[in-house]
Amino acid sequence: MDKILVTGGLGFIGSHTVVELQNEGYEVVIIDDLSNSSEKVLDGITAITGKTPIFEKLDLKNKEGVEAFFAKHNDVKGVIHFAASKAVGESVQEPLLYYENNIGTLVYILKELKKLPSAAFIFSSSCTVYGQADELPITENAPVKQAESPYGNTKQIGEEVIKDTCKVVPTLKAIALRYFNPIGAHESVEIGELPIGVPQNLVPFITQTAIGLRQELSVFGDDYPTPDGTCIRDYIHVVDLAKAHVVALGRLLRNKNKANYETFNLGTGKGSSVLEVVKSFEKVSGKKLNYKIVGRREGDIISAYADTNKANDELGWKTKLTLDEAMDSAWKWEQKVRAND
Ligand code: UD1
């Protein structure tokens, strides 16, 4: 079976994708620098799939290291590239770190893929490229808006770098997947999200509050023009999201793509407000969540949810898991992590 490189394969979305790839019989090699992940994640992957992927600890900023990796693994057929920095606030403080980590490393990998007889490349992009879209749900044709942060900009630039490269390298085929808001954990509770420090994202903040690590959740604004006044997002179960990567990869490997560079939105198509997420959590956990309404967070958009038609029709992929199932798995994962602390 084809050998696939997964960069950042020990991270949140990466690890769930490695599980789905192995379940489909792919041979997986992971590169991860462990800057925001742990080698223990390999045990979780092994527990679920019965197979341990090959793991190479490597910082992708090490150009010679990347070259040496591809010299050794010149039979790689595809790359799913998750490795990147993702803290929006940090990216404002340290823009060069973000451009180096997210763009520099992308260039090194593409340079190596150019040398291969053929290569499939899947890129982790984000719905953040749309900013506050003028029309909802958001289709892939919605215009890319001025990025709010260097992090967001690295996703936009990353897409451009890949698109330009695909134009001149006919042996390279790529898909950029624009994720909406990934949440939840694998149902086995062997792998999940492991945020370092105070979580910036809603769901880990909710579960950490419920377990007693945080005092209360601050809901950022209830005066938005939405039904309950809180912001709306499209929360997608990480397992559904992981499966989409395997489908997108298969599309490229089997030459089913319509162009050498394509983009797909990955979401459920359903928007949920912050308070709806809180309610879902309270329902599945049976716990009351301590929260208070505070002022708006700078840079937050009001509402974003995906038009899923292109992914549904062309990838033949659809989300199966619900918000409640995602919140239930996130809560079970939080309890397991803290029990082991
Ligand atoms: C954030 C990033 C975005 C990134 C995405 C995925 C910002 C401004 N945006 O998006 O660039 O692509 O994560 O990682 O950081 N909320 C609260 N209280 C909290 C945390 C969040 O009320 O403690 C609300 C937010 O206002 C928002 C929703 O929950 O309405 C989701 O927030 P979050 O999980 O941070 O995701 P995004 O804002 O969509």
**What are the structure tokens assigned to 118, written together?**
């053929």
Tell me the whole-structure pTM to 2 decimals: 0.98
Evaluated on CA atoms 205, 206, 209, 215, the torsion sign reads positive
> Is the minimum distance from the CB of 220 to ligand 1 under 6 angstroms?
yes
Which atom of ligand 1 sits closest to the CA of residue 127?
12
Q: 133-156: per-residue pLDDT in tens?
A: 999 999 999 999 999 999 999 999
Pocket of ligand 1, candidates 13, 82, 91, 128: which has the most ligand atoms within 8 Å of its Cβ, to mutate? 128
pLDDT in tens, 6-61: 999 999 999 999 999 999 999 999 999 999 999 999 999 999 999 999 999 999 99
For residue 274, give both structure tokens.
């912050």
Burial (CB < 10 A; 0-12, 13-18, 19+), residue 174, is buried
Cβ of 204 less than 6 Å from ligand 1: no
- Residue 341: is its pLDDT beyond 90? no
* pLDDT the model gives residue 137: 98
pLDDT range class, residue 323, cuts 50, 70, 90: very high
63 Cα–ligand 1 center, Å: 33
Using left for φ > 0, alpha for ψ between -120 and 50, and beta otherwise, residue 286 falls in left
In one letter, which amino acid is 258?
Answer: K
The chain-wide mean pLDDT, for the chain, equals: 97
Peptide bond into 170 cis (omega under 30): no
Task: Give the rounded percent of residues in the chain with a pLDDT score beyond 70.
Answer: 100
- For 206-248, what is each residue's pLDDT tens digit? 999 999 999 999 999 999 999 999 999 999 999 999 999 999 9
